[in-house]
């Protein structure tokens, strides 16, 4: 009897023990584990992953508002509808498999007002252009095309399209609507953007090899540029070189930079470097009795000089260096085969050995500045591409840059900015997704939100044709995305090793978990045994 009572007592004890073990395990899992998880996670603010992905997929739509104004007696006969009317033409520029850019030309056809007629009633196209500019309220990106009658004296012989300094052009009528449409298309290619320029702007999304050789030369869009003019004098004992760079910059370069000030901030400085030798020895050519440098050795020439050009540590913006090299007396005169690159200035004075050294050299700034300005335009991608033979482009004169050239730059830079924002944010999102360790603070998250919002507004403005606001929005988007990407707080816990986490938590959790697990194992074993016993016992 006592044994049976002891057995029952034992059973109750064992049941109580089992209940205690199970409740321990339950509390540990239900309360302990979530509490520990919440108190040891890194702070990661939420990011708009959907917005970033959407930005990557967004098809660009570039809308160009064009106004076609018919002077009296120049209206073609085969217009589809009476004036005034609007027409929309879409053109697809395929960049790659996923992205495509659609160009919409919203053409508004109308006839001239009385003031415009008076402005067109002058002798030359330049005066007409100047007069029309006063009447227009041209927004950035918009074009106005004036169709003048075939017999008009404004356009010289053989020229059927005249592109002015501002955002207007004169087209000779004749040939019906079809020729007008072709001329319009060619005109918009010249004055706004071509498919190759847009493709070049989106070049980082293109697979390699699809770009032409010129496309890589253009500068990447940046918030500012620093321009440095350097005079290299390798032999100060023989030449004392004087250049009036301040005056030349104010007269020739500053107007161009003022025109481009909408695009970026510019700062200009100049320096004179002495004992800056070329890396390559030019060879003497007997026929022309001068020294020659071949064009493909030019990159090696720049190398030893580049270390001394300096100032990349002191500037946030990319630096454009323009070098003027005065060759040594022993290497004068010096020419470059296949003229390309830094100009070499030759000492004009005949060097007689009795002349007292050092020779004084006054640099002819006009010649030098011509070359520098041409190179500056080339760097920005403003070169005059192939034009059809009947086009006449007005030279921009003192301003250095025509308004429509600025528009071209703005189109490509806006598109490039949006593409940059999208790639930056996508790679940031991928990085943060993959590495769970990185802390995302609130201000990083707010910068990302701002970048996504401004980029989306830039795309919307582009689709509506407001180039100015689209450009400003794209600049803000680039700034925000760069600020988010390069924030130093992202690196805070990046290199925290995993084994340190184990070293901290295992001594605490293992002694707690082992008894619980052993009790659970014992309970499971007993339960299994009990299930087997009823089948055995009967």
Partner 1 sequence: SNLWYLFSHSVDKAWKELSNILSGIFCASLNFIDSTNTVTPTASFKPLGLANGTDHNLLRYAVLPREVVCTENLTPWKKLLPCGSKAGLAVLLKAERLFHSSYHSQAVHIRPICRDASCLAVSWELRQTLTVVFDTFSSGQGKKDWSLFKMFSRTLTDACPLASQSKVYVDISPKNKEKELLEVTPPPASVHEAIVQGDRRTYAVYDLLSPSLFNTSRSLNVQLKWKRPQDSSELPTPVLHAQRYVSGYGLQTGEISTLIYNTHPYRAFPVILLETVPWYLRLYVHTLTIITKGKENKPSYIHYQPAQDRRRPHLLEMLIQLPANSVTKITIQFERALLKWTEYPPDPNHGFYVSSSVLSALVPSVIAMKDMDVEQSPLFTSLFPSLDGSSYFVRLYTEPLLVNLPTPDFSMPYNVICLTCTVVAVCYGSFYNLLTRTFHVEEPSRGGLAKRLANVIRKFRGVPPL
Contacting residues toward partner 1, per CB under 8 A: 6, 9-10, 13-14, 16-18, 20-21, 24, 236-237, 274-275, 308, 310, 313-314, 358, 503-504, 507-508, 510-512, 515-516, 519
**Measured between alpha carbons, how far apart are the two ends of the chain, in Å?**
24
Q: Pick the closer one to partner 1 by CB: 118 or 517.
A: 517
State the minimum distance, in angstroms, from the CB of residue 445 to partner 1: 25
3-state class of 285 per DSSP? strand
Q: Pick the closer one to partner 1 by CB: 235 or 416.
A: 235
**CA-to-CA dists, residue 8 to 14, 15, 17, 123, 439, angstroms:** 10, 11, 14, 123, 58
Q: Pick the closer one to partner 1 by CB: 27 or 366.
A: 27
Rounded Cα–Cα distance for residues 486 and 482 (Å): 6
State the minimum distance, in angstroms, from the CB of residue 36 to partner 1: 14
Q: Pick the closer one to partner 1 by CB: 206 or 516.
A: 516
Q: Pick the closer one to partner 1 by CB: 242 or 338.
A: 242
Q: Are 112 and 70 in contact (CB under 8 A)?
A: yes
Neighbouring residues of 85: CB distance < 8 A, sequence distance ≥ 6: 108, 109
Q: Pick the closer one to partner 1 by CB: 5 or 88.
A: 5
**Given CA atoms 382, 384, 390, 394 in this order, what sign does their dihedral have?**
positive
Q: Pick the closer one to partner 1 by CB: 77 or 507.
A: 507
State the minimum distance, in angstroms, from the CB of residue 317 to partner 1: 14
State the minimum distance, in angstroms, from the CB of residue 68 to partner 1: 52
State the minimum distance, in angstroms, from the CB of residue 311 to partner 1: 8
Q: Are 258 and 297 in contact (CB under 8 A)?
A: no
State the minimum distance, in angstroms, from the CB of residue 51 to partner 1: 32
Element (H, E) at 373: helix 365-380
State the minimum distance, in angstroms, from the CB of residue 24 to partner 1: 7
ω into 278 cis (within 30 of 0): no
State the minimum distance, in angstroms, from the CB of residue 108 to partner 1: 50
State the minimum distance, in angstroms, from the CB of residue 274 to partner 1: 6
How many residues are recorded in the chain?
A: 538
Q: Are 59 and 101 in contact (CB under 8 A)?
A: yes
DSSP H helices, 28-113, are 33-40, 49-57
Q: Pick the closer one to partner 1 by CB: 20 or 378.
A: 20
Q: How many helices (H) and strands (E) does the chain have?
A: 15, 15
Q: Are 324 and 229 in contact (CB under 8 A)?
A: yes
209: left (phi over 0), alpha (psi -120 to 50) or beta: left
State the minimum distance, in angstroms, from the CB of residue 512 to partner 1: 6
Q: Pick the closer one to partner 1 by CB: 61 or 519.
A: 519
Structure tokens at 515: 């008894």
Q: Pick the closer one to partner 1 by CB: 18 or 205.
A: 18
Instruction: Detail the DSSP E strand segments found in 234-276.
Output: 239-242, 265-274
Report the interhelical angle of 403-434 vs 49-57 (nearest 10°): 140
Backbone angles phi, psi at 475, to 5 degrees: -65, -45
């Amino acid at each position: 009897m006592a044994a049976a009572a002891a057995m029952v007592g034992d059973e109750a004890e064992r049941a109580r023990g089992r209940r205690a073990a199970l409740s321990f395990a339950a509390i540990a899992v239900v309360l302990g584990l979530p509490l520990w998880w919440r108190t040891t996670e890194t702070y990661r603010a939420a990011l708009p992953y959907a917005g970033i992905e959407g930005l990557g997929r967004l098809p660009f739509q570039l809308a160009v508002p064009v106004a076609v104004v018919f002077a009296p007696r120049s209206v073609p006969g085969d217009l589809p509808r009476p004036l005034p009317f609007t027409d929309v033409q879409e053109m697809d520029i395929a960049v790659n498999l996923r992205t495509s850019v659609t160009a919409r030309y919203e053409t508004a056809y109308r006839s001239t007002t009385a003031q415009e007629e008076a402005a067109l009633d002058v002798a030359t196209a330049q005066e007409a252009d100047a007069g029309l500019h006063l009447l227009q309220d041209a927004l950035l990106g918009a074009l106005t095309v004036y169709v003048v009658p075939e017999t008009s004296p404004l356009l010289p012989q053989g020229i059927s399209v005249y592109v002015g300094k501002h955002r207007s052009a004169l087209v000779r009528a004749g040939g019906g609507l079809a020729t007008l449409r072709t001329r319009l298309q060619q005109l918009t290619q010249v004055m706004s953007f071509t498919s190759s320029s847009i493709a070049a702007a989106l070049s980082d999304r293109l697979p390699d090899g699809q770009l032409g050789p010129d496309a890589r030369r253009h500068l990447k869009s940046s918030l500012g540029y620093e321009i440095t003019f350097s005079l290299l004098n390798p032999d100060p004992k023989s030449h004392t070189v004087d250049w009036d760079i301040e005056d030349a910059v104010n007269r020739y370069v500053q107007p161009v930079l003022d025109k481009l000030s909408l695009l970026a901030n510019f700062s200009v400085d100049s320096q004179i470097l002495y004992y800056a030798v070329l890396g390559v020895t030019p060879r003497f050519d007997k026929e022309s009795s001068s020294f020659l440098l071949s064009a493909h050795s030019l990159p090696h020439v720049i190398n030893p000089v580049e270390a001394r050009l300096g100032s990349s540590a002191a500037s946030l913006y990319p630096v454009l260096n323009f070098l003027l090299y005065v060759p040594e007396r022993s290497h004068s005169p010096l020419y470059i085969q296949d003229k390309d690159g830094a100009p070499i200035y030759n000492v004009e004075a005949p060097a007689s050995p009795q002349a007292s050294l050092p020779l004084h050299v006054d640099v002819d700034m006009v010649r030098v500045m011509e070359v520098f300005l041409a190179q500056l335009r080339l760097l920005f991608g403003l070169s005059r591409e192939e034009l059809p033979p009947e086009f006449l482009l007005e030279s921009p004169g003192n301003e250095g840059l025509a308004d429509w050239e600025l528009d071209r730059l703005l189109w490509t830079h806006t598109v490039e900015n949006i593409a940059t924002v999208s790639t930056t944010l996508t790679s940031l999102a991928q990085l943060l997704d993959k590495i769970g360790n990185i802390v995302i603070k609130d201000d990083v998250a707010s910068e990302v939100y701002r970048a996504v919002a401004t980029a989306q507004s830039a795309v919307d403005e582009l689709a509506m044709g407001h180039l100015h606001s689209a450009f400003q929005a794209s600049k803000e988007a680039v700034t925000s995305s760069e600020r988010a990407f390069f924030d130093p707080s992202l690196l805070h816990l990046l290199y925290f090793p995993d084994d340190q986490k184990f070293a901290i938590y295992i001594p605490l959790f293992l002694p707690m978990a082992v008894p619980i697990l052993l009790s659970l194992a014992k309970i499971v074993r007993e339960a299994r045994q009990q299930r087997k016993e009823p089948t055995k016992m009967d």
